[in-house]
Structure 1
Amino acid sequence: MNISSHVPSPPPKWVENFARFGLAAKGVVYCLVGTLAFMAAFEIGRKSTQSAGKQGVFQFILEQPFGKWLLAIVAIGLVCYTLWRLIQGIKDTDNKGTDAKGIAKRLRFVFSGLVYGALAFLAAQMVLGNRSGNGGSGGSRRMLVGELLQQPFGQWLVGILAVGTMAIGLYQIYYGLSDKYKKNVQGAGLKHDMETKLVRMGKIGYIARGVVWIVIGYLFLKAALSSNAQEAGSSSQAFQFLETSSYGSFLLGAVAVGLIFYGAFMFMRAKYQPIGTS
C-alpha cells in the first residue's frame, strides 16, 4: 500500500510559497547565528558563545524594536520550512523514488523538518513569553542523552547517536565539496561573477555547518564515554568548544563567517531554487 497516496496533494503554489518563505527564515537564523558567533569569537559587544545558539538568536530578535513581531515572522517561516520538508519526504515532490537511496533521502527531508519544527516551537514559546523552557536545544539534547543513558545499553545508544550526528556533519562537508549543492541554484539567471561568488559562499557554508555537526557529535561521544549527560550540547556548546581550542578565536571566527555564508546561500535558494510540487 502506498501510504503517501493518502496524503492530500497541496496546491503547487502553496508548496512553493511555503518553501521559499521557509528558506528565507532559515537564512535569517543562520546569518544571525554566524554574526553572533563571530562577535563572541572576538569579544565584540560582550557577546558570548551562549548567545550564539538558536535560543540566543531568538532572544536577540526579541530584544529588537518590534521584536515579538519579528520573531513571530521567523517562527512562521520555520513552520513553513518544516511543512515543506515533510511534504518533500512524504509526497516525494522531488521524485527521489522508493528504492533504498530514494527512501534515505526522503527520510533526511523528514528529519530536517522535525528539527526545524522543534526550532519553530521554541521560537513560538519565546514569542508567547516562555523564555525559560529547558535551556533551549542544548537542554533538550542533554535531556535526550540523560533518558538514553538510563536505558539498557544506554552508553551504546548515545554512542550510536554520536556517530550518526558526526556522519551528518561529514555528509554536509562532502555535500559542499562535491558541488552537489549547486543543483539548487543552477540557471539562476544572475550575472556570472555574482552567481560564482554566491555558489562559493554556499560551499564554505556547508563545510562550516558540517564542522558544527561534527563537534556536536563529538560532545555526544564524550557524554557516552563518561556516562554524563552534561557533556552533551548544542551549537552554542560547539562554539564554546571551538573557542577554547588552539587558535580558538580564529577557528570560531572562520566557522562563524561560514555560517553567515550559509545563511546568504539560503536566501539565494529561496529566490532561485526550483521547488518540486508534483
Structure 2
Amino acid sequence: MAVGVARGDVERAGRRAAGHRAFHGLTRGGLVGKGVVYLLIGWLAVRIGMGDGGGEEADKGGALQTVAGGPGGTVVLWALVVGFAGLALWRFAESAYGQPVPEGHKATKRLASFARGVFYGVSCAAILVFVLGGGATSSDQQSKEYTARAMAEPGGRWLVLAVGAGFVGWGIGNVVNALRRKFLEELDTARMGRRVRGAVKTLGIVGRSARGISFGAIGVFLAHAALTFDAGKAKGLDGTLREFAGTPAGPWALVAVALGLVTYGVYAFCEARWRRVETVR
C-alpha cells in the first residue's frame, strides 16, 4: 500500500510540474529554438539550390555552425540546449499524462510523444556536444555509419529496413495530416483572429508537408540501403535535400522543398505562441 501511495504522490508531483507556468514557458522557448534551427536548415538548402552553398551542409550541424559564427553564438547555442531539453521533457510529460488533443490519452498518442521525447533528447545531447567543442557531424556521415554498424549485426539489415519504413510512414502521415489540417487541433485557434488563423493554417500546411516529404525521403534512402545491403546508399537530411536537385525540376525542386522548411520554421514560431502545451488532467 505504501508503494501505491508513493506512486500516487510522484504522479501528482509530476502533473503539478508539467502544469506549471515555468514549464510551459520552457516548452514554448524550445519551440522557438526549433523554429530557428529549421529556418537555418531551409536557408542553407536554398543557398545550395541557388549554387551558393559554399560547402555548407543543410542539416542540424550546418545550422549549429551558422549560429556559432553569428553574434552571441555561444549564448544562442546554450539557449538551444535548454530549449530542446524543454521539448524532450514536454513530450515525456505527454507520454505520461496524455496529449491535450481529442483522444490524447490513447496509448498510440502517448507512444508517439515518447518517441518524440527521445528524438528531442538526442537532439539536445548533440547540441550540447557541439557547444562543448565536440564539433558537428555531418548527417550523411552519421546515417552511413549507423547504417553500416546496424547491418553488420545479425538481423541488422531488417532493422534498417524497418527504420526506413518508419520514416516513410511518418513522412506520409505528416503530409496527410497537414492536408487534412489535423495540426489545428494542437493549437488554441480560439485566440486567433480570422486572418491570423488563415495565415497559420497556410504556414502549417506548407511547412509540415515539406518536413514530411524531406524525412519520408530519408526513409526511402534507408530502405534502399537495406535492400541493396549497401550502407553507402543511406543519406541524412543534407544528402536527401541535395537529391531533389537531381529530379527533372532540377535545383528548383530543392529550392521549393527548402522554402517549405523555412516555412515550417516560421510555423514553429506560431506554435510557440498558440500551441496547447498543457497535459491532460
Q: TM-score, normalised by structure 1?
A: 0.89
Contact 2:181 / 2:201 at 8 angstroms: preserved in 1?
A: no
Kindly indicate whether the alpha-carbon contact (under 8 Å) linking 1:188 and 1:272 is maintained by their aligned counterparts in 2. Answer: no
Query: Which of 119, 135, 139 matches 1:131?
Result: 135
The alignment status of 1:87 with 2:93, answered yes or no, reads yes
Q: How many residues align?
A: 271
Q: Report the CA distance between 1:76 and its aligned residue.
A: 1.4
Of 207, 210, 214 in structure 2, the residue corresponding to residue 208 of structure 1 is 210
The C-alpha deviation readout for 1:131-173, integer Å capped at 9, x for no partner, is 15xx244333333322321222332222111111100000000
C-alpha separation between the residues in 2 aligned to 1:187 and 1:240?
36
Unpaired runs of 5+ residues, structure 2, are: none
- In the aligned structure 1, how far is the partner of 2:74 from the partner of 2:266? 23
2:168 equivalent to 1:160: no
1:269 to 266, 271, 274: 271
Q: Name the amino acid aligned to 1:183.
A: E
Instruction: Tell me if structure 2 keeps the 8 A contact 1:24–1:267.
Output: yes
Aligned pairs for 1:142-181 (under 5 A) are 142-181=144-183
Q: 1:240 maps to which residue?
A: 242
SS at match of 1:87: helix
* Equivalent residue in structure 1 for 2:194, among 154, 174, 192: 192
Which residue number in structure 1 is paired with residue 40 of structure 2? 32
**Per-residue deviation, 1:183:** 1.8
How far apart are 1:40 and its partner, in Å? 1.1
Separation in structure 2 between the aligned mates of residue 266 and residue 224 of structure 1, nearest angstrom: 33
How far does residue 177 in structure 1 lie from its aligned partner after superposition?
A: 0.7
Q: For residue 153 of structure 2, give the secondary structure of its aligned residue in structure 1.
A: coil
Instruction: Determine whether 1:120 maps to 2:124.
Output: yes
Structure 1 gaps of 5+ residues are none
Aligned-partner Cα distance in 2 for 1:131–1:85: 27
1:59 aligns with 2:61: no
1:93 deviation in Å? 5.1
- Identity across matched positions, percent: 25
- The alpha-carbon distance between structure 1 residues 77 and 152, as it changes in their structure 2 partners (threshold 3 A), is same
Aligned-residue RMSD, C-alpha: 2.3
Q: Is the 8 A contact 2:214 2:237 kept in 1?
A: yes
The aligned counterpart of 1:21 is 29
**Worse-matched range after superposition: 219-228 or 139-148:** 139-148
SS at match of 1:52: coil
**Contact 2:49/2:251 (<8 A) preserved:** yes
Structure 1 counterpart of 2:49: 41
Distance 2:248 2:27 in 1: 40
The question of whether the paired residues in 2 share the 8 Å contact of 1:4 and 1:90 is answered with no
- CA change 1:97–1:184 in 2 (3 A) is closer
**Counterpart of 1:76?**
82
SS at match of 2:191: coil
